[in-house]
Amino acid sequence: MLEAFKGHVKKSFPELLSERFLLACSGGLDSVVLAHCCTTMDMEFALAHCNFRLRGEESDGDERFVANLAKSLNKYLFITHFDTIGYVNKNKVSVQMAARELRYTWFAEIMKQQGIDTLVTAHQADDNLETFFINLSRGTGIDGLKGIPPKTDTVSRPLLAFSRAEILEYAKASRLEWREDSSNRETYYLRNKIRHEIAPILNELHPAFQDNFDRTQAYLGDTALVLEAYNKKLRSELFQSENGVVRIEITDLQQLHPLKPHMHLLLKDFGFTAWNDIEGLLTATSGKEVRSKTHRLVKDRKQLLLEKLGYLDTRTYHIHENQREMTHPFRLKIECSDELGETAVNTLYVDKETLKYPLTVRKWQKGDYFHPLGMKGRKKLSKYFKDEKVDVISKDKQWLLCSDNQIVWVVGKRADERFKVRKDTRKIVKFELI
């Protein structure tokens, strides 16, 4: 296998012969063989090992094994420890996804730090075939069938041209040692079934099955890239981004046929999965929303608004009589004054005697009303928002300054008639947004 590997690297990965790279090494068969082959070819690389702390002493044993391997190969080694389960609980992702995200984020950091452009991973040919059938048995789409690319901008996989059998044979002939991952046993059974039972039948159906399969995966990979180009084009045409909120005209979406798969294409990168609910949003009443783990999509009149989920502050804050400044949830300067100063949208002057302390700062509630400055009578806040065309996301972010739970100021937007400075006002309070 070594000769074939040398030829393959020279032909398809020549840059690995002249540039330093990072080699991801779990200590398992594939990555140990890869590290040995690369060393034999005098390639310049450092090893990177992640201890995910998922298998206790076994994980630590892997780490010690890779540390010894690095010494024996005379290579630099980067090691990190992850609280994988903590990450799983915090981000509500699978263990597999957590390990993946943690690993690739860390690899990217090391590469940036060390000025390294390429990560080399030890995926081999059987991975693609096995993953294809595991995904197929579970139900999947083009992304689950297309296979791992041998090379992307930052990751190279020179072992992808070799089968597990070839790699194992090389390891045995070279008397290499490696670590067996006990958690692989679970998938080991599945992968074995595919390799030893399904693949031979497909080879019988067509003698060039493996080549045809590789071609099929390459073709599906191309198709996925074309879809991604379409996705990018559609987003640039349909998504209007402003202040972290993306606005999408519903009439634009409705021109896409078929609609649901197009919505899926446009929104899958934001973690959405409830496609029926999302389709329902198009005809739902304003304010309805669908959430993914990371984003929310809100119906707002003739648009959908897409926003990254942040912490939405719904607490109530208090302002006491002698308080001269508020820093949370926004900065407000409070001054007592004898006369009116300049009027500005960031500034409110009120008659102090109309206020009941402590004042409160809160978000809007159903049933809220106020007396808009300059108008006779009261107006529902929801009606005010509607007339001012305030979208549902902005509504949720709008703070209200209240006295005895009556709205004094739709902060930064509109004052209330009841609290305004009059001719007979004796003490004025000035609120100024910083």
CB of 136 to a second copy, least distance (A): 6
**CA-closest candidate to residue 409, choices 359, 365, 336:** 359
| Distances from the Cα of 417 to the Cα of 133, 354, 426, angstroms | 69, 11, 17
Q: 360 is written with which tokens?
A: 């409160």
Task: Quote the least distance from Cβ 205 to a second copy, whole Å.
Answer: 4
Query: Bridge-partner residues for 47, per DSSP?
Result: 23, 77
Instruction: Kindly state the smallest distance separating residue 194's Cβ from a second copy, in Å.
Output: 8
Closer residue to a second copy, CB minimum distance, 42 or 204 = 204
- The nearest distance, CB 201 to a second copy, in angstroms, is 5
Binding residue per annotation — 221?
Answer: no
Provide the 10 A C-beta neighbour count for residue 297.
Answer: 23
| 3-state SS record for 336-384 | EECCCCCCCCCEEEEEHHHCCCCEEEEECCCCCEECECCCCCCEEHHHH
Q: Which amino acid is located at 20 in the chain?
A: R
Residue 378 Cβ, how far from a second copy at the closest point, in Å?
Answer: 50
Q: Could you give the CA distance from residue 431 to residue 423 in angstroms, rounded to a whole number?
A: 19
| 67 vs 256 by CB, closer to a second copy | 256
Q: Which is nearer to a second copy, 109 or 211 (CB)?
A: 211
Between 255 and 316, CB nearer to a second copy: 255
Q: Is 355 exposed, middle or buried (0-12, 13-18, 19+ CB in 10 A)?
A: buried
Those residues whose C-beta lies under 8 Å from the C-beta of residue 148, and which sit 6 or more positions away, are 123, 127, 128, 131, 157, 160
182 annotated as ligand-binding: no
Q: Please identify, using beta-carbon distances, which residue of 229 and 309 lies nearer to a second copy.
A: 229
| Smaller CB separation from a second copy, 145 or 390 | 145
User: Minimum Å distance from CB 261 to a second copy?
Assistant: 4
The answer to the question of whether 26 is labelled as a binding residue is: yes
Residue 319: CB atoms within 10 Å: 22
Q: Which residue has the tokens 């297309």?
A: 146
Give residues in contact with a second copy (CB under 8 A): 133-134, 136-142, 145, 190, 193-194, 197-198, 201-202, 204-206, 208-209, 211-213, 215-216, 219-220, 222-223, 225-227, 229-230, 233, 256-258, 260-262, 264-265
Which CB, 205 or 345, lies closer to a second copy? 205
Which residue number, 185 or 376, has a Cβ lying nearer to a second copy? 185
Q: Confirm whether residue 202 is marked as ligand binding.
A: no
Q: From the CB of 156, what's the least distance to a second copy, in Å?
A: 18
Widest pairwise Cα distance in the chain: 100
Shortest Å, Cβ 122 to a second copy: 24
DSSP element (H, E) containing 205: helix 199-205
CB of 282 to a second copy, least distance (A): 17
The smaller minimum CB distance to a second copy, of residues 191 and 371, is found at 191
Q: Do the beta carbons of residue 396 and residue 313 sit within 8 Å?
A: no
Q: Give backbone dihedrals phi and psi of 302, rounded to 5 degrees, phi first.
A: -95, 10
Which residues belong to the annotated binding site for ATP? 26-31
Which residues belong to the annotated binding site? 26-31
